[in-house]
A and B are shown apart, each in its own frame.
Chain A
């Protein structure tokens, strides 16, 4: 069906999103500086409770806070841990307009979501394992989540990975997400983790978060985007 009069429809090819000759991966673009009212929601950084951490309600008027709190999800099973850190730029200055995402398995080592088909390992109905936090004005973030269980390397490959979280870094000046991983420095399994083994030994420490406090166990994971002590980022 056409709404344009006969003979007036444009038929010349256009090099745009709908051009079959250009079909392929959509290019990345930065989140820019103004994502705070569109991406991080209150509670996005609390994967285990009902606190509102993760959002930046100070950056836009309250009447425009349409994302609000995520709905309550019920109790979780496992050990609650806190993950804290600061994002730094190439001059060692905190980055105040970055955003962090984490993705982790539940305490039993199962991923929530349809792609983990290992039905013999229990899901935790109260725990999804995805979190999102806008950093604060000093570049800091804080997540509350569960210490993840160990997961197999890949479908059909039962070598076990050490407990870890996938971490994505976004922000103004970051054209593409930077992907890294948080490992727990005091955890079992780091010594023979197949992913850590691919990281040059001198740089592995950037992925190993030290335990810096208790109640709950708190791990520090600073992220250096550029330069001295640069965090290891992955080509996934």
Chain B
């Protein structure tokens, strides 16, 4: 159980809740200081071992999970990696959920109404559980960049949203994966909420050894969850 205990706070790589360049944080971030609590049994536990019963079956190949008869358009990619703790030990039995725009940068969401085409063969959501080595793997397509209303001529860099839920409530993580050599990253307010050099943890690496011949380009993206913390409750 101690493996799931979070470490001390103040991790420099974590963004603040309030980051005014990302405008909608201004009215949606607390002004009062967070109340620090040592982890209790509540935060040290989580619904590991229940994913199928909780959420239903895995979806690992997003290129064949639209509702059209065919295969998604776009650059086919493999995204794979490991979920680790801060001591670089694998975290098995963690559910990895992803969602993303299609190759043209459009979500199937009704709230996304910009002038880019939808792909009937692409929904853009998947979910797998890490294996004994903490590994996960998706096949999908490379998402396009898309505009948003944060400021004039604002474009999100191409990204995949990832959500991780594992053996402990305290180690919950939601993040975004970016692609190497994307010039939009350095001018994106959401990515820039993370200070350098830690922002680069969010940039996947192209890997020719993960690339599948005649099928898909390969990207590696490891995720590191909070690790152990010796802070006890005072009796």
Contact = CB atoms under 8 A, between A and B. Distances in A.
Contact of A115 (B29, B45, B127): B45
A153 B232 CA distance: 11
B172 to A, nearest CB: 6
Given A24-B86, A71-B56, A103-B46, A234 B36 contact: yes
Given A115-B48, A115-B167, A89 B222 contact: no
Interface residues of B, number: 106
Interface string B27-67: 11111101111111111111111101111100100000111
A95 B39 CA distance: 29
Classify the secondary structure of A's interface with B: loop
12 contacts: A14-B205, A25-B224, A31-B163, A66-B65, A112-B50, A113-B46, A115-B168, A152-B41, A176-B15, A198-B36, A226-B30, A234-B36
The secondary structure that dominates the B interface is loop
Given A17-B221, A22-B201, A37-B99, A225 B209 contact: no
Contacts, number: 321
B47 A30 contact: no
Contact of B14 (A9, A115, A176, A232): A176
A3 B198 contact: no
A155 B27 contact: no
B16 to A, nearest CB: 7
A70 B24 CA distance: 32
B42 to A, nearest CB: 5
Interface stretch (A78-86, A164-172, A209-217): A164-172
Interface of B: 1-2, 4, 6, 9, 11, 13-17, 19, 22, 24-32, 34-50, 52-56, 59, 65-67, 81, 86, 88, 93, 97-99, 101, 107-112, 123-125, 127, 161, 163, 165, 167-170, 172-176, 180, 190-191, 193-194, 197-205, 208-209, 211, 213, 220-226, 232-233, 235
